[in-house]
Amino acid sequence: MTVCGEHEPVAYVSEYFLGDGVTTQFFLATEPYFPASSQTTIIRELFNESQINPAVWGVSAAAGYLLMGAGGLAMEGGNGLDGETLLAWLNPVELGGTLLLEAVGVTLSTGSSGILAGFFVGMDRQAGCIAGFQATAQPGTGAVSLQPLIQGSPAGMAYAINPSYQYTLRVRVHCAENERELASYISCGDSGPFAYGGEWNTAAGNVQMEIQQFVNGVGGMPVTLYDGAIASLIGRCSVVAVSSINLIGTMRAIHLTQLGSGWVVSTPPSGYPYTRRVGTTGEAAECHLDRTGKLVFYTGYAPVAGEQIAVSYRTVGRAVGRSVNTASQQALALAGMPAEAAWIGSVTSPPARSSADCRNAALTIEQASAGVSALWSGTYKGTRLSFAADVWPGDALLLNAPTFSLNAQVVVRTVTVSYRASYPDQVEYAIAFANDWADDLAIKTSATVPADAWLPAPIAPTVLANLNTLTVTALNGSTVSINAGMTPPTGGGFEIRLRDFAFMPGEDPDLVMRATLPNMTFSRISAADRFYIRMYDGSTPPNYSEFSTALFINLPLAT
């Protein structure tokens, strides 16, 4: 079975440019990964209805603390306890790619305390806040300051709030992994139901937090309060607009936007690296990444001469996976039947966002189709007295009919319940059943094969961890020094090549070097270098990381 999926992020790219004080557009070596345009807006709440919408927001507060007013969401205090007066988005949010959480038109009165515009996990108290703004009132004066909360603890700068002004709070979170939870594929075979997928992955992340003051509608220069990294970023969280201990003020709107896979860091001459604000001019950003593969800086933010710009993003590929049931092929061969039956197509639901999803979907379909219960469908009729319990769609139905050589477990698709007057009262059930190969229930497939799918896909490949935490420790006109961010397996190491998807044992012109230690230094070759790095193990032939970590260096060579 070969399963094709959606476009997925592939190589982990860090691309370097050098500013000259004039250039505002930098062309990337390849197109960066972006989700579909329909998936970029996650939350867009203007708080302009007569009441808080219970279909999208969960409110945990006593009456009168959080309500709608002329300025949007009105915050009228709290019960003084952390986590008991809050407004949270009901749907969980996946922390993958680059996200921008923006709270607009925030005002806070003297004496306010609580948390605004936060990502939370596990609990809705301060300890569960991954990134958010903590409002604190000073003893005696009641003057309010806002300070970033990172993993439950105050971090970065504190900013004094003027009760007469409005503020916009922004949290940018970046994770190199766009898919944090694999899709779950479920089916039913001869031995009952089985499932593949659903695993979570851990990954590092970056956080940049800022505040922008507005006086009479005129915005000032945004002030960065925090710019740092999180070693282990949770995969899924909840978005909390307000967690009030005693917040008094308003919030005009709150938005959450998916910005793609890009993250931009600048290092001025003789300066320290800092994160560039990515987004639109309306979000007070300094630059944006175009879907066509272009980094554009807005007016007034052009990199100065000698400034080094590092752009991190993912490249684009087509997700594809393949699975083979060897035991089934051997059994068919012994029975004198064709030893191989092939199917190729796409999975549309649950969406296969990665090659790992495609491999799990292919494995599920292959197991479902190889059983003796494959391609069974039909209808079973009976009365309520025939069943020990009520019957619902999705239940497993065990059928044993020797005359049809049928002894299989199938899945209930629909249940039609009929009642007519009788004595004693009888309810008739008409149960339509089928297994997944005869009638998809948990998995929806299509015969479409995308034109950009690389076929044939490898069968159940053994892949090593991707080097998604690799860092460049030194870069100049002649050499590059890197730290791979992990220790290779026994007998393995790291391989650097000039071309992607060409990793193999032996020597050839594409090979730059192999090393067994995480810290490596190698020579640059040209003013437009392209290096690809993967980890390998001691197998024969060796197994490699599924995707490369790429370094694209557009900097002059030493003369």
Contact 436, 420 (CB under 8 A): no
Written as six digits, the tokens of 472 are 């460049």
CA distance 264 to 252: 29
What secondary structure letter does DSSP report for 138? Answer: P
97 φ, ψ (degrees, to nearest 5):
75, -145
Name residues whose C-beta falls within 8 Å of residue 66's C-beta, 6 or more positions apart in sequence: 52, 59, 73, 74, 75, 76, 85, 87, 242, 244
Max CA distance (Å), the chain: 100
CA distance 252 to 104: 6
Q: What local confidence, expressed as pLDDT, does residue 94 receive? A: 95
Nearest partner of 284 among 349, 213, 229, 347, judged by Cα: 213
Q: Which residues pair with 75 in a beta bridge?
A: 66, 249
For the purposes of burial, counting CB atoms within 10 Å of the CB of 232, is it exposed (0-12), middle (13-18) or buried (19 or more)? exposed
Contact 205, 275 (CB under 8 A): no
Q: Helix (H, G, I), strand (E, B), or coil: what is residue 38?
A: helix
Contact 319, 140 (CB under 8 A): no
Q: What local confidence, expressed as pLDDT, does residue 439 receive? A: 58
Report pTM: 0.88
Q: Please calculate the CA angle 132-134-139 and round it to the nearest 5 degrees.
A: 175
What secondary structure letter does DSSP report for 2? Answer: E
Q: Helix (H, G, I), strand (E, B), or coil: what is residue 24?
A: coil
Name residues whose C-beta falls within 8 Å of residue 413's C-beta, 6 or more positions apart in sequence: 393, 432, 433, 434, 439, 441
Q: What local confidence, expressed as pLDDT, does residue 444 receive? A: 81
- The gap from C-alpha 549 to its chain's centroid, in whole angstroms, comes to 18
Nearest partner of 363 among 16, 3, 64, 112, judged by Cα: 3
Nearest partner of 176 among 23, 368, 10, 305, judged by Cα: 10
Per-residue pLDDT tens, the chain, 559 aa: give them.
999 999 999 999 999 999 999 999 999 999 999 999 999 999 999 999 999 999 999 998 888 899 998 889 999 999 999 999 999 999 999 999 999 999 999 999 999 999 999 999 987 789 999 999 999 999 999 999 999 999 999 999 999 999 999 999 999 999 999 999 999 998 776 677 788 999 998 899 999 999 999 999 999 999 999 999 999 999 999 999 999 999 999 999 999 999 999 999 999 998 999 999 999 999 999 999 999 999 999 999 999 999 999 999 999 999 999 999 888 788 878 888 877 668 899 998 899 999 999 999 999 888 877 765 556 778 888 887 778 788 888 788 887 878 766 777 777 888 998 887 777 777 888 988 876 555 555 678 888 999 999 999 999 899 999 999 999 999 999 999 999 999 999 999 999 999 999 999 999 999 999 999 999 999 999 999 999 999 999 999 999 999 999 999 999 998 6
H or E segment at 333?
helix 326-334
Distances (CA, A) of 325 to 198, 354, 376, 457: 22, 22, 20, 15
Nearest partner of 169 among 111, 209, 128, judged by Cα: 209
CA distance 5 to 356: 10
CA distance 140 to 147: 19
